[in-house]
Structure 1
């Protein structure tokens, strides 16, 4: 009888852990902490961005409605337009309406186009996304092989002339403004050689010049980082271990050293992606690209502040999401990285 009682007591299920203890145990998981930390930081950044975009229209000197309608507009028309746009309500009510409109897609009405802001942005956003993604992919595809080849060729002080030429040219290309490079490309390949179209988004050839204008600078900067990281990886212990196994030089570089160098370089790539998103504004205006970048310039000149407000919001959200996605990719590619365990404020 005693044995039966003890056996029953040993197999009987214990009491369930309290919810607080289970939640505490869940937060011990690195990935859960990473998701909570990144999600909280993203939400806070989005709130700051939304608030700044809302206040922008109210901090502009003067009356944006009067400026948009022109000096000949009557006071009655100005007041009616202000009521139609909801700008006669108290500031807190406008703010709450703006927050609600973000979730419903109601970002106001464009004075310039006489259309909802969401419709204007939606018509032009695909062209901007196509240009930005193509520019980022081109920058990565240029930077990784160029940086890797230069690293292998100049390792341990070899070919000093090549190293000096690469360093000088990458600095020059990395500091040229996008719009200036775009103008140069238009003059050389569009006007002089007549190889590519210089305006509009048509066939695949129309992407060549704007994508190059957007990608060359970031590719030059990123290739330098790839070279430095690959040189460091080639001197690491695990690479020496791989060489001791009599692996070929190409296999050591491509399978062991380069993946680690590229993973480290992706951090900078995320920051460059944010700058490339902003760079589309100038590039689109140079090439008359039918995206939101060229639209924002006209809306600023036309005092269409609600449209500017919506476009700034879209660009800001794009930059924040791009940086968050890069952080997630880095954590997946290298779970041992400090990204999963960092506790402080971001990159």
Structure 2
């Protein structure tokens, strides 16, 4: 008589899962390090491709040639481009982002003063987009389940698709025109109290809200078609309990993943919004530094933007991979 088959021991399974997770973390960290190195070189190269002389721009067109040459030598801009790159990377790795050509401030101080304003704007816009989009997407899914209310489905998909296609700076201009200039309800620019947050947050949140609502609708429709939801309905579970305790938690995984990646997009996409609203964040500062040929500030801000995007992507990637280690096996 054949012996019954025994299930695999828990120890080997845990060991395999541990190796998979360890390999996943290692690959992600190596990929992050390579991306960071590329970002360092790219931030240096992009700024130096901008035409114009930053020293002449900072000293003015009437500055003597001797003063311009002395300033260029003091800043190391008379060195070969490769030497400048090596010096730039060495200083950045040591935590020194340089000094502003125009104001003489350390770039690290400029970033430290401006970064909280940019993060506050991006985080607030992300929260607003999620809080508005998830209920909207669930409502649209419930209304259009099993092909019902075709008109609602067409309206929802058309409206959200068109909303996603409009750039943030156009929303910024429209909001200023209507609510600040036309109605006079809100300040048109600057940071002066809680009400000054409303228009910039709205300009940043409108398009992401529409995108997340579309994702939320798709995820909700998928959940509504599962066997356990049909069983819950057959048991006549209360509607609120069905949607809030069973459908909502299972739709949030993909939605929150997109929300985490969305945060990086909002941080990078806030540049033009900050410029329109004269918001004292990194976006406004990087525009000013590029137009004024202030290389160190522009490089530092671009590097911080890119590093934030890479770090958030790394954290989201690791979280998803650790929650589902089988996905890592597909990469090997």
| TM-score, normalising length: structure 1 | 0.84
| CA-CA distance at 1:319 after TM superposition | 1.3
Structure with the larger RCO, 1 or 2 (CA within 8 Å, 6+ apart): 2
Match of 1:309 among 299, 302, 326: 299
Deviation at 1:296, TM superposition (A): 1.3
Partner of 1:33: 23
Aligned-pair CA distance for 1:331: 4.4
Q: Indicate the residue corresponding to 1:158 in structure 2.
A: 148
Q: 2:316 aligns with which of 307, 326, 339?
A: 326
> What is residue 331 of structure 2 aligned with on the other side?
343
Q: 1:329 and 1:207, CA in 2 relative to 1: closer, same or farther beyond 3 A?
A: farther
- Residue in structure 2 matched with residue 211 of structure 1 by the alignment: 201
- Name which of 122, 127, 134 aligns with 1:137: 127
Alpha-carbon distance between aligned partners in 1 of 2:166 and 2:259, rounded to the nearest angstrom: 18
Question: 1:122: how far off?
Answer: 1.5
The answer to whether the 8 Å contact 1:143/1:219 transfers is yes
In structure 2, the CA distance between the partners of 1:241 and 1:33, relative to structure 1 (3 Å rule), is farther
Distance 1:258 1:315, change over 3 A: same
Q: 1:102 to 1:342 in 2, by over 3 A?
A: farther
Larger Rg: 1
5+ residue gaps, structure 2, are 1-14
Give the C-alpha shift of residue 28 in structure 1.
Answer: 4.9
Report Cα offsets for 1:7-40 as digits up to 9, x if no partner: xxxxxxxxxxxxxxxxxx6885332222212211
Gaps of 5+ in 1: 1-24
Contact 1:234/1:257 (CA < 8 Å) preserved in 2? yes
Q: TM-score, with normalisation over the residues of structure 2?
A: 0.87
Number of equivalences = 318
Q: Which of 75, 82, 85 is the equivalent residue of 1:85?
A: 75
Aligned to 1:172: 162
Superposition pairs of residues 257-272 of structure 1, within 5 angstroms = 257-272=247-262
Report the RMSD for the aligned CA atoms in angstroms: 2.3
State whether residues 53 and 293 of structure 2, in contact with CA within 8 Å, keep that contact through their aligned partners in structure 1: no
Q: Which residue of 1 aligns with 2:106?
A: 116
| Structure 1 match to 2:227 | 237
Superimposed CA distance per residue, residues 307-334 of structure 1 (whole angstroms, 9 cap, x where no aligned partner): 11111111111111222232344346xx
Give CA deviations for 1:234-290 in whole Å, capped at 9, x if unaligned: 112333344455433333332233222221233433443232112110111111101
Q: Aligned equivalents of 2:281 and 2:273: distance in 1?
A: 10
